[in-house]
Amino acid sequence: MRRLLAPLLAVLVLAGCTARPAGESAPALAGGASTMPGPVPADLALRPAPGTAPAAPAFTGGLTDGTPLTAARLWADRPVVFTFFSSWCTTCVARQDALSDLARRHRDRVVFVGVAGADQAEELQDYLRTHRVEYPVVVDEQQTIWRSYAVREPPAVVLVAKGGALLRGWPGGLDAAALEQRLGELVLAGSG
């Protein structure tokens, strides 16, 4: 009996060492509600969307913490960049740090939204934390949103104008420098 109790006690002691003190909450999940954009800056100047641009596919999806995100609510006020990615995608990994920096530079002026497909929750959180992704990330387990945007594999980037006009998509994605140039050319007045 003592031989059985010793390992059990060791497990309980170790488990107690990793428990949070009473009243301390778990850290917020990366890509969750805490990453939603703030108010639209008063000085935001935008280029008009071409009248010939089709409407972007609207969707509602759950963020990494389960909070619902409605795309049309975001693009009602400002442009949105959707980045379609997976944590196991080597091209996504190679580009993510620079995209995260770009998203921080344009915070609240242009909303970046990640759409993660074909991922496991733990690997996705590791990816988001490692690459300092500080924008909302929708979990698209069934890749329904991916299909609505004709995304077959990661990475892909889609730019939607204020009001919901689908301006441009890039299968295979694009690097942060090229995306910043396109933001200046297509949506941000006085930037390009």
69: helix, strand or coil? strand
- The 8-class DSSP code of residue 111 comes to E
* Number of domains the chain contains: 1
Residues in the chain: 192
The boundaries of the domain holding residue 92 are 56-192
Rounded to two decimals, what is the model's pTM? Answer: 0.85
Instruction: With respect to residue 143, please indicate whether it lies within any of the assigned structural domains.
Output: yes
CA separation for the pair 137, 150 (Å, rounded): 18
pLDDT at 9: 38
Instruction: With respect to residue 64, please indicate whether it lies within any of the assigned structural domains.
Output: yes
Residues of the chain with pLDDT under 50: 1-21, 192
Instruction: With respect to residue 31, please indicate whether it lies within any of the assigned structural domains.
Output: no
- CATH number, domain with residue 118: 3.40.30.10
Complete DSSP assignment for 149-179: TT--SS-EEEEE-TTSBEEEEEET---HHHH
85: helix, strand or coil? strand
pLDDT at 94: 97
Instruction: With respect to residue 16, please indicate whether it lies within any of the assigned structural domains.
Output: no
Instruction: With respect to residue 111, please indicate whether it lies within any of the assigned structural domains.
Output: yes
pLDDT at 46: 96
Instruction: With respect to residue 6, please indicate whether it lies within any of the assigned structural domains.
Output: no
Instruction: With respect to residue 27, please indicate whether it lies within any of the assigned structural domains.
Output: no
pLDDT at 134: 97
What residue type is 27 in one-letter code?
P
pLDDT per residue as tens digits for the range 10-54:
433 333 444 444 555 556 899 999 999 999 999 999 999 999 999
pLDDT at 57: 98
179: left (phi over 0), alpha (psi -120 to 50) or beta: alpha
CA separation for the pair 139, 55 (Å, rounded): 22
16: helix, strand or coil? helix
Instruction: With respect to residue 119, please indicate whether it lies within any of the assigned structural domains.
Output: yes
Residue showing tokens 């594999």: 153
Give the residue among 79, 103, 83 at the shortest CA–CA distance from 167. 79
CA separation for the pair 16, 159 (Å, rounded): 48
Other Cβ atoms closer than 10 A to 36: 14
